[in-house]
Amino acid sequence: MIEQTTDETISRSQQHLRRIKSFVMRPGRMTEGQKSAFDRHWKAKGHDLSEGIFDAEQVYGRKAPLVLEIGFGMGQSLIEMCVAQPETNFLGIEVHLPGVGRILREAETQNVHNLRVYKEDAVEVLEQCIPDESLDCVQLFFPDPWHKKKHHKRRIVQPAFVELVRRKLKVGGCFHMATDWENYAEHMLEVMSAAPGYDNMAEGYHPRPETRPLTKFEARGHRLGHGVWDLMFKRSGS
């Protein structure tokens, strides 16, 4: 049975979000190439919380659809999307510095100009920097599933988080999630189905759209019979 989301539930969950992080800082240093790319391009492509509101039209020098990806990892699929959709502005958030360094290096190598990056907690970026009703799409691909039951409270997809995302999406904007953990997919579907102001864009799970690149890891999983679940929910007018 799906529990109905209430203002009180969201308020409690908002406090929970601020106390409990949905990620851990993984150990690992940037390679020389990643560090060099970071040093060369962070000033032009990187942003910090201290800068305040993110003015996309000013930052990119144009008015265009804006897609935000949370937790881009090493950045390969996000770079592919930037290259495939030059008419779209992309904004990535990742706390793992080697991933930030690598995506900046790849952006340089592939002459990508429609990408900007934060190396911050995504919740803080959304709360402090992203204007309401400014995003055409929010992407959350393969977040940490926190598969042990005692850790489920650390999963990022919770009522307060999806309400925060809803506020930042334009009406008609899409929240696109993907996971390779079936239990997490079920959790996502339950939370999103109960969340006000969203319409599921499919009957349950959504087929992987062509706009989400198939990663090598995912392709290998398919060959081994592993599942991947996409969920796409549109912000309604309510």
The residues annotated as belonging to the active site are: 144
**Residue at token pair 């334009």:** 170
3-state secondary structure of 226: coil
- Please give the C-alpha separations between residue 109 and each of 15, 52, 58, 81, 132, in angstroms, as whole numbers: 42, 29, 24, 15, 33
- What does the alpha-carbon distance between residue 177 and residue 157 come to, in Å, rounded to a whole number? 9
Report the alpha-carbon angle 163-169-171, nearest 5.
105
- In our burial notation (b when 16+ CB lie closer than 10 A, e otherwise), range 118-138 reads bbbbbbebbbebbeeebbbbb
d(CA 41, CA 82): 16
Strand, helix or coil for residue 200: strand
Indicate the residue type of 71.
G
